[in-house]
Amino acid sequence: MMIDLRSDTVTKPSAQMRKAMAEAEVGDDVYGEDPTVNLLQERAAEMFGKEAALFLPTGSMGNQIAIKLHTRVGDEIIIEERGHIFNYEMGAPSAVAGVMIRVVRAANENAMLTWAEIESALHINLPYYACPTGLICLENTHNFGGGSVMSAEQTGEICHKAHDLNLPVHLDGARIFNAAVAQNDTVENLSRDCDSVQFCLSKGLGAPIGSMLLGKKDFIEEARVWRKRLGGGMRQVGILAAAGLIALEESPKRLHVDHENARLLAEGAANLKGVSIDAERVQTNIVIFDVSQTGKTSLQIVAELKERGILAISFGNSIRMVTHCDVSREAIETTLENLRSII
């Protein structure tokens, strides 16, 4: 058995999910006739306090449709430099929406932008030949900020200031349930003032496939058109929505376990010679630590871990490990023992 800490996307559907999938009532969702998809969309909208929701194959599609709908060709969108939309969506904002990205590096290690940082990068009320800002994108939790969280107050402040300037805000909330659990808050509060939010059923929530895009009714109706245009109109997809419903209702209740395991991993790693990580900063399920002073490269360490049946991701001088429902506390202890012996 491998211990797979590469991402929370690697989780396998639970027995409860597989049973629900086998028994799901289905219909053609392109005609809006899949009762299980409709139920999932209603439940998600209710939980987030938004007018409507749309089931999508991936989080990337949700982000890209939102960018397309909020902007005009030639606009600029603002995103933190380490953000997923900028680094890992294959230039889709330019390919799909025809927009430019202006990245802003947050001063803090958590990669969470403040309004002051955003404001300094805005292009508004400039002569017509300037590239206008059309959208601000936030990410909560922030993946490469180490699973860091943004509070409802911070998000609200950015949204209010942006709205004063007629700028919409999209939230990439791929892991927003982790952010909610870590702060003992609700996903509704954390996304209240955002014009749209995307979250993934297929990450910490453990569903095999699927993401949701939420916003106003008209926005979601337009999003439905773009989902089909991009090839994401699925048919008897209630089979997947059935797993998504369980992910939505059940999985948030156990996310604190992943966060405890991540903290245990971070504290153990912090004690290893040459490893640098501030365990106090680990708030959710993502642990990123620097190994540049260990005498081995991150690639070497990841390769040696793999030989011992442990999977992780290296980038630059760092290693990323992500806890999830298929990783137990014992697996974390085993990982730490192996890290200790390798390093």
Ligand X SMILES: Cc1ncc(COP(=O)(O)O)c(C=O)c1O
Q: Which residues bind ligand X (CB under 6 A)?
A: 9, 58-60, 63, 84, 139, 143, 172, 174, 200, 202, 211
- Minimum CB–partner distance for residue 202 and ligand X (Å): 6
C-alpha–C-alpha distance, residues 152 and 149, integer Å: 10
Closer residue to ligand X, CB minimum distance, 195 or 338: 195
**Closer to ligand X by Cβ: residue 50 or 170:** 170
Shortest Å, Cβ 7 to ligand X:
6
59: left (phi over 0), alpha (psi -120 to 50) or beta: alpha
**β-pairing, 3-4 with 286-290?**
unpaired
CB of 296 to ligand X, least distance (A): 27
Nearer to ligand X, 212 or 275 (CB): 212
Name which of 144 and 219 has its Cβ closer to ligand X: 144
Report the C-alpha gap between 145 and 140 in whole angstroms.
10
Question: Least distance in Å: CB of 144 to ligand X?
Answer: 8
Q: Which is nearer to ligand X, 62 or 268 (CB)?
A: 62
Alpha-carbon distances, residue 26 vs 22, 37, 39, 135, 249 (angstroms) = 10, 8, 11, 36, 20
What is the separation of C-alpha 205 from the centre of its chain, rounded to a whole number of angstroms? 11
Alpha helices in the chain (DSSP H): 15-23, 35-48, 59-70, 84-87, 92, 115-119, 152-164, 176-183, 187-191, 217-229, 238-250, 255-270, 298-307, 329-342
Shortest distance in whole angstroms from residue 99 CB to ligand X: 17
- Who contacts 223 (Cβ-Cβ below 8 Å, separation ≥6)? 54, 65, 66, 69, 213, 215
Name the minimum Å distance from CB 221 to ligand X: 22
- Is the Cβ of residue 174 or residue 277 nearer to ligand X in the bound state? 174
